């Protein structure tokens, strides 16, 4: 299985307040949901919902 090298080598963007940029946070949560077990995936979904409300 080959990963897209453009996505795998890209750095995460951090905001001045020390938090991960919203777009990068959303992408990270989605990627983790794809590889985690069902319980962890549902917790990540909850986290993703919480981060979307912050905007």
pLDDT tens for each residue of 3-53:
454 455 578 888 999 988 888 888 888 888 888 888 888 888 887 777 666
User: Coil, strand or helix: which one is 14?
Assistant: strand
Task: State the DSSP H helix or E strand holding residue 28, giving kind and residue range, or none if neither.
Answer: helix 22-35
User: Are 35 and 29 in contact, with CB atoms under 8 Å apart?
Assistant: no
For residue 17, what pLDDT is reported?
A: 93
pTM here is 0.58
Q: Measured between alpha carbons, how far is 41 from 18 in angstroms, rounded to an integer?
A: 25
For residue 16, what pLDDT is reported?
A: 93
For residue 30, what pLDDT is reported?
A: 86
In the numeric block, the tokens 């981060």 are attached to: 51
Q: Report which of 35, 30, 31 is spatially closest to residue 48, judged by C-alpha positions.
A: 30
For residue 2, what pLDDT is reported?
A: 45
């Amino acid at each position: 299985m080959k990963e897209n090298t453009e996505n795998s080598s890209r750095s995460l963007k951090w905001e001045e307040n020390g938090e991960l940029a919203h777009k990068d946070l959303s992408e990270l949560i989605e990627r983790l949901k794809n590889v985690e077990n069902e319980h962890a995936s549902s917790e990540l979904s909850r986290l993703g919902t919480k981060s979307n409300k912050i905007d």
